[in-house]
Amino acid sequence: MKFTKLMIVMLLVLAGCGKPTPEAQAKKTAEIFINALDSGDIAKAKDQSSEDVQKMCDAIESSFKTPAGFSTSADLSEDAKKKLAEIEKEIRTSSFENPQIKEIKEVNERKYEVIFSMDYLNTTEIRKYFTGEEYKALIATLSVEATEIQKKDGKEAATKYMMEKLVENIYSVYTENFKNKEYTNEDSVITLEQQDDGKWFVTDIKGTNQNK
């Protein structure tokens, strides 16, 4: 079969059409990344990220934990573990909502910036409570009660008592605050760069006003 010049050109065009452009590849990586954040799948977000951004993802993962930080403690009752798991799941799935890519900018053929908007859960009141006087007073009261229990039943019983009471408090505070969630919409910029192996990674993420 003889190929005319026109047929060769058409074959080259078709071959080119089958290969995603750098912009399309960068956009796809950005979509995977922000959708992973939206669903709370931090491991998946890290798969699309450089080491520096993976550290940011680890910080986000830590933010999903409740203040006491003893979700998997063997000293907790099954009911307490269930309550903490319920709250942490709610934090994970509610912290980010409605991601939308707004603009894609080419820096060069191996580097793009993607501007996107996302709703961020407002946890100001929760943070305020757990750094405030009411929570400190609760800790002080529980410490006194735990000390009395330790005298009678030992350190293990005292520790378990205090932890169980803290879980009840954490569950109550989060549950009440989550009844009416408030969100703040913000724009952010993701930088994506193509690696030597051809894979695209998120190499930076920041607020649009961060450098202003």
How much is the pLDDT for 210? 58
pTM for this predicted structure: 0.79
CATH at residue 138: 3.10.450.50
User: Is 90 part of a structural domain of the chain?
Assistant: yes
pLDDT < 50: residue spans in the chain: 1, 212
User: Is 5 part of a structural domain of the chain?
Assistant: no
User: Is 36 part of a structural domain of the chain?
Assistant: yes
Query: DSSP H helical segments within 131-177, as ranges?
Result: 133-153, 155-177
CA distance 178 to 83: 14
Residues 131-170 have pLDDT tens digits of: 999 999 999 999 999 999 999 999 989 988 988 999 999 9
Q: Which of 174, 69, 178 is nearest to 129 (CA)?
A: 174
Task: Supply the range of the domain harboring residue 36.
Answer: 22-206
State the sign of the Cα–Cα–Cα–Cα dihedral 147, 153, 156, 157: negative
